Amino acid sequence: MSVLVLAEVDDGVLSPATARIVAAAANLGPVDVFVPGPRAAADAAAAISGVRKVIANDSSLLADTLSGAIETLAKDYIYLVSGASTLGKDVIPRLAAKLDIQPVTDIVAIESPTRFVRPIYAGNALETVTDSQSKHVLTFRASAFRPAAGGNAAPVEVFDNAVQSAATLIAAHRTESDTPDLSTAQIVVAGGVSVGSAEGFQLIEKLGKTLGAAVGATRAAVDAGYAPNDWQVGQTGKIIAPDLYIAVGISGALQHLAGIQGARKIIAINSDVDAPIVKISDVALIGDLFEIVPQLIAELERL
């Protein structure tokens, strides 16, 4: 019942999401991890508790070479698993098509080796799926699982069977930021359209910086041009699971809440006591965000 997990590597560094996927996959059987990245990333994967073996390959970086490499390895595994991330959404459908297997995606809970729970209708309902195929191709939502601990020392094997591709990677462009990654941050401060302008969003960023938090936004704020697209949280944005989510001037529309279901504590700053986000928050500060947020920053800076 072995599992092969596709690791996430970002700019040569193993993503923290991989430890969460490994923790989930360990419920299914012994876990090997395929690391498409440099040796340092492979060593970081080998240190994750529960990993039996790491298979490292620094040349398979495109979705078609990655899916080709995993297809080559697939005969030794019952489960082929990745995160429900941009990478997973690119690689897993190709792999599933190559193997002629129906994938089960966006899994948030494992009920048994063949029964999985996944959200549908933008997170408004959960469906339980029985996967009776002899091999399983799965994606897990990293935010739904706690990360596996470190301290392991699994062996690292190099996969040198390079897969040919018709495509060539010319360049990868990344958004430079000195704030934590939104997808994996422990604290997220997010602003809504009521922040009013891109300049107004600097207040949200300042609160984020004071707390060492990542910054997010609603789709309405992104559509208004107040915040960049990659800050969007929700059904059509990022799915996040911080320990603390601070929602500033956000109403809590269903499509937004779909992205924050994994948040452990929610603080809402809103002028409307009846806003949906206030109803589900652990703490609500009712009032004008332009008064509350500067006071909050001043208090935090005094600490």
Give residues in contact with ligand FAD (CB under 6 A): 192-194, 218-221, 232-237, 249-251, 253, 255-256, 259, 269-272, 275, 288-290
Q: 3-state class of 266 per DSSP?
A: strand
User: Strand (E) positions, 200-249?
Assistant: 214-217, 244-248
Q: Is 141 annotated as a binding residue?
A: no
We find the least distance from the C-beta atom of residue 108 to ligand FAD, in angstroms, to be: 17
Q: What is the dihedral of CA 100, 145, 154, 32, to 10 degrees?
A: -10
First to last CA, the chain: 52
Residue 30 or 200 having the CB closest to ligand FAD: 200
Q: Is 254 annotated as a binding residue?
A: yes
We find the least distance from the C-beta atom of residue 251 to ligand FAD, in angstroms, to be: 3
Q: 3-state class of 201 per DSSP?
A: helix
> Cβ-closest residue to ligand FAD?
234
Residue 9 or 277 having the CB closest to ligand FAD: 277
- Angle between helical axes of 201-211 and 289-302 (0-180°, round to 10): 30
Q: How many CB atoms lie within 10 A of CB 84?
A: 23
Ramachandran area for residue 12 (φ above 0: left; ψ -120 to 50: alpha; else beta) = left
We find the least distance from the C-beta atom of residue 105 to ligand FAD, in angstroms, to be: 18
Residue 102 or 295 having the CB closest to ligand FAD: 295
Q: Is 188 annotated as a binding residue?
A: no
Q: Is 102 annotated as a binding residue?
A: no
Residue 36 or 234 having the CB closest to ligand FAD: 234
Q: 3-state class of 66 per DSSP?
A: helix
Q: Is 270 annotated as a binding residue?
A: yes
We find the least distance from the C-beta atom of residue 296 to ligand FAD, in angstroms, to be: 13
Binding-site residues for FAD sit at: 218-219, 232-236, 249-256, 270
